Amino acid sequence: MTKDKYKDQFAHATAKAFRQVYPDIFKEVGETEVFAPDVIYSGLAKPKDPGMGRFAFAVFRYAKLLKEKPPEIAAKVAAATTWESGSSIGTGGFLNAKIDPVKQSSGVISEVLTKGAHFGDSDMGKGLTNLVEHSSPNIAKPFGVGHLRSTIVGHSLRRIYQKLGFTVVGINYPGDWGTQFGKMIVAYRKWGDDSTLKGDAVKNLLALYVRYHMEAENDKLLDDESREAFKQLEAGEPEVVKLWETFKTISHAEMERVYDLLGVKFDWVCSESDLNDKMEPAIERMERAGLTSVSQGALVVHLEDEQLPPVLLKKGDGATLYATRDLAGLIYRWEKYPGFNQSLYVVNTAQSDHFKQCLKVIEMLEEAEKIPENERMTGRVKHVDFGWVRFAGKTMSTRGGNTVLLEDVITEASDLARKNISEKNPELATIDATSHIIGVGAVIFSQLCVRRQRDVDFRWEEVLSFEGETGPYLQYTHARLCSLMRRYGHEVTAEIEHALLNGPEEQRVIELLADFPKAILDAGEQYEPYFISAHLLRLAGAFNKVYQRKDADGNIDKIISDNAPLTIARMALVKSVQLVINEGLHLLGLEAPEEM
443 has pLDDT over 60 = yes
Per the structure, the count of domains in the chain is 2
> Are the beta carbons of 35 and 29 closer than 8 angstroms?
yes
pLDDT of 143 reads 87
Indicate the range of 164-173, 276-285, 390-399, 534-543 predicted with least confidence: 390-399
Report the sign of the C-alpha dihedral through residues 233, 237, 243, 246, in that order.
Answer: positive
Last residue of a domain, one of 74, 99, 124: 99
Number of H helices, E strands in the chain: 21, 15
233 lies in some domain: no
pLDDT of 400 reads 47
CB atoms within 10 A of CB 374: 6
292 lies in some domain: no
Report the share of the chain in percent with pLDDT over 70.
96
- Amino acid 556 reads I
43 lies in some domain: yes
pTM check: above 0.85 = yes
3-state secondary structure 414-483: HHHHHHHHHHHCCCCCCHHHHHHHHHHHHHHHHHHCCCCCCCEEECHHHHCCCCCCCHHHHHHHHHHHHH
291 lies in some domain: no
For the chain, how big is the Rg over CA atoms in Å? 29
324 lies in some domain: no
Residue 38 Cα distances to 47, 77, 343, 542, angstroms = 19, 17, 29, 31
CATH number at residue 518: 1.10.730.10
pLDDT of 51 reads 79
Last residue of a domain, one of 82, 99, 116: 99
Edge-to-edge order in the sheet of strand 298-301:
292-295, 298-301, 311-314
Of 283, 256, 282, 250, whose CA–CA distance to 269 is shortest?
A: 256
477 has pLDDT over 50 = yes
200 has pLDDT over 70 = yes
500 lies in some domain: yes
Q: How deeply is 155 buried, as exposed, middle or buried, from its count of CB atoms within 10 A (0-12, 13-18, 19+)?
A: buried
Q: Please indicate whether residue 291 or residue 464 has the higher confidence score (pLDDT).
A: 291
Average pLDDT over residues 346-354: 96
- Paired sense of beta strands 342-348 and 129-133, if any: parallel
pLDDT of 467 reads 74
Report the share of the chain in percent with pLDDT over 90.
78
Residue 518 Cα distances to 2, 3, 167, 239, angstroms = 9, 8, 20, 56
- Amino acid 288 reads R
pLDDT of 395 reads 52
pLDDT of 405 reads 82
> Are the beta carbons of 393 and 457 closer than 8 angstroms?
yes
- Amino acid 312 reads L
Average pLDDT over residues 528-537: 98
Phi, psi of 380, deg, nearest 5 = -100, -10
> Rounded distance, CA 57 to CA 327, Å?
46
Helix axes 564-588, 431-448, angle to 10 degrees: 70
Edge-to-edge order in the sheet of strand 167-172:
268-269, 167-172, 129-133, 342-348, 381-386
532 lies in some domain: yes
Q: How deeply is 316 buried, as exposed, middle or buried, from its count of CB atoms within 10 A (0-12, 13-18, 19+)?
A: exposed
Last residue of a domain, one of 71, 99, 127: 99
Average pLDDT over residues 90-98: 93
> Are the beta carbons of 125 and 163 closer than 8 angstroms?
no
pLDDT of 548 reads 93
Phi, psi of 198, deg, nearest 5 = -120, 170
318 has pLDDT over 90 = no
Of 218, 584, 206, 199, whose CA–CA distance to 398 is shortest?
A: 206
pLDDT of 589 reads 98
Helix axes 322-336, 352-368, angle to 10 degrees: 60
> Rounded distance, CA 82 to CA 182, Å?
73
pLDDT of 114 reads 97
Indicate the range of 122-131, 254-263, 420-429, 485-494 predicted with least confidence: 420-429
Band of residue 33 on the pLDDT scale cut at 50, 70, 90: low
183 lies in some domain: no
Tens-digit pLDDT profile for residues 537-584: 999 999 999 999 998 888 899 999 999 999 999 999 999 999 999 999
Average pLDDT over residues 166-191: 94
Average pLDDT over residues 411-430: 89
Residues 6+ away with beta carbon under 8 Å from 253:
none
Report the sign of the C-alpha dihedral through residues 194, 197, 203, 206, in that order.
Answer: positive
Q: Which domain holds residue 547?
A: 406-588
Average pLDDT over residues 293-317: 93
